[in-house]
Structure 1
């Protein structure tokens, strides 16, 4: 005999849901919180970031399993993001109510986790449905000390900076693949800015940004790029001698133009993000070249999909978790602190405002100088 799982009503609890077959369609639905079992904890999500990375998670969720972290009704998905939560109730002796943690959160008001491997600095979610998913997303950092602005900037920048860090490390490890220039497509995105910052800091070569005309001035103003080119001036890239391309946009038309202009000058072509949701998208699976005849027919090297968790796993395996985290933290400190020079934080309070802001994000109407923090 199967016993139905009990649930509890938490006033104001909700999930932000998007249609998996149409990411522009979203709604807010009331949420029932399951009754806690021994070892579980209930989190009230305090804040999370809404960025282009949010759309990258949603657009690649079917291929990369991101919908599986936070189950939703059939046809709908709970989009992952990064932020802070407070422990409301805990049935684990080493994880107390009142603690604050940082990590992978759904666009929701609450989350139940199964507390696993608690240490002085971290705790993992050992829920059965997450066990087969990349460990980097199941790890939460116990973080009681940061102030309001630090929590906001950490939510907005540190998770995407992790991808910036491992991409820079790969490019450095391979001697820039013999290229004199590193081209970053969708150069105004926060992951792109982090990568450009790291490349510029170590004089990796000429750092070239490719972005929309409306974002050229902002992208130049950060000081992270040696040259910034708009999408309608892609032909100017022909002057480059040898190039590694890192595409954060996922837009097939833009990447094809880059490949046609550069051809054999391209030493490597990486696919990293999907910031340009809504155009013709390139699809891929970790470790493979982009799928489809469109990618296969591009001149130059075939685009290679770079899956962040694989890079993190390899470096943690080589360096150990503690050394890896120390290196990431050391690299990110100045970048995050210095973001006050080029990024303002704007709050989004409540479910209805979240819906409206998500619509602007999908429509590409949030300026890259704005960092949107949702407070459910």
Structure 2
């Protein structure tokens, strides 16, 4: 199952203040635009598939500026929305065509406090076979029905009543068909996607939402969100930045070449090992695992397991990167130092950096590869082996 994400950000937000202040999803809370907080959560969620942000045609510049500081913002594509939220969602669903997504989470950009735990609970419901999942909170306030005369006419029982939240999640083909049917009939009066699903006969399961998952609607909501984040920053001024180190060495034996950072370099020797013996990627794998206390490469890929015999070491590195992201980490930097008398690494350095960028899904400027000799001293100096030292920097956020 692949879960695509549609973030709805095409609205004008008329109730959130004057037009001069701009749409609410681009207002600043905690020093960053609302939409940056929202998008970052989905970028950091380990089960996010293709992400589509639906924006207004006039907001391309605003959107680009708002997400420019997010390390993986390029992973989210954009499409233009319509004149209603319903139409905008439909455009987002259409943009997921051909991406491989089988399910979709549809989320309001103006809900910046969505957390990873709620996303995991919704995904578990989808895994269990539900075609529609709605996070919601039981209504706690006493409800009154008023009349045109301005008087209370009755007290409405709140039993079985819920306040709907997003992301509202569905089997992609089912909700897209429901939207297509509504569009064909010119039905544009649905207030959310769950109501379209109900109208189309798609069962929607309820799941407990989050009290923090509020929608910023009016100006005071934005001010309160900013105050909340400012208080959090005052209580916790230091980011959770962790650095992991890794070291590995492999013996050189007669052969036809070595693989370093995923690059095969012809040579009169090869590295001995159970996998492809890529000493650089092994060291970097350990460095990443160290940032979240997840053991070392041998715990995850024991050399006694024959399925890893001759395996490309990118498998190990990508596995470690997934574990980091599952723990709420964002990989900020990867640095590898190779210690070898031969072969020469310099001519291959840029290709190695590109490989690290691809394997870790981070910008190439965050990837460094260096090489040095051991000045003919020790086992490296005698060309008996190659060593690697790696350092990884990861920023973690709490759910």
Give me the TM-score of the superposition, normalised by structure 1. 0.26
TM-score (norm 2): 0.25
Say which one has the larger Rg.
Answer: 2
